[in-house]
Amino acid sequence: MNNKQKNYIYLNIVFLILSIYVILFPIIIIPLKAIVPSFGVCPYFRITGNYCPLCGGTRYLSNIYRAFKNPFYLIHPFGIIIMCVLFEIIFRVFILTKKLYNKKIVIFDIIYHLTLFIIFIAYEFFFFMLK
């Protein structure tokens, strides 16, 4: 196994841990808020007094059970983000278990994340323009 493959394995592990953290954040925040109450407040909101593009994400995840009653709950910017995070977890587990480290997978990975990055920047741009 060469250095590029090792680095890609480490990248997969980091993305997998971050994705799991995003999904479990509403559960993790409960004991953290008991220790440090200000931790549950968005830093952007605390400094500016304005909501950031991601304000409401924790609340959305906490109420994700609503998607079982109404599938349209997932057709929301946060719902799309959560579906991408779930795809990320499945994709990373698949890559790590099957040991797929070929050039096509890496190119797909780069294109997928560049696309998500561009969509997120557009979302933030429109969020601030509509204020």
The string of pLDDT tens digits covering residues 47-87 is 888 877 777 777 777 777 787 888 777 777 778 888 888 89
Place of tokens 């799991």: 20
pLDDT confidence bin for 92, thresholds 50/70/90: very high
* pLDDT tens track for 95-119: 999 888 888 998 999 999 999 999 8
Cα of 41 vs its chain's centroid, Å = 18
Question: What whole-number distance in Å separates Cα of residue 19 and Cα of residue 17?
Answer: 5
Question: What whole-number distance in Å separates Cα of residue 19 and Cα of residue 23?
Answer: 6
On whether the CB atoms of residues 53 and 123 are closer than 8 A, the answer is: yes
Dihedral sign (CA 95, 10, 84, 32):
positive
pLDDT at 88: 93
HEC assignment per residue over the chain: CCHHHHHHHHHHHHHHHHHHHHHHHHHHHHHHHHHCHHHHCCHHHHHHCCCCCCCCHHHHHHCCCHHHHCHHHHCCHHHHHHHHHHHHHHHHHHHHHHCCCCHHHHHHHHHHHHHHHHHHHHHHHHHHHCC
Q: Is the pLDDT of residue 131 over 70?
A: no
Look at 127 and 91; give whichever has higher pLDDT: 91
pLDDT at 34: 87
Q: Is 52 exposed, middle or buried (0-12, 13-18, 19+ CB in 10 A)?
A: middle
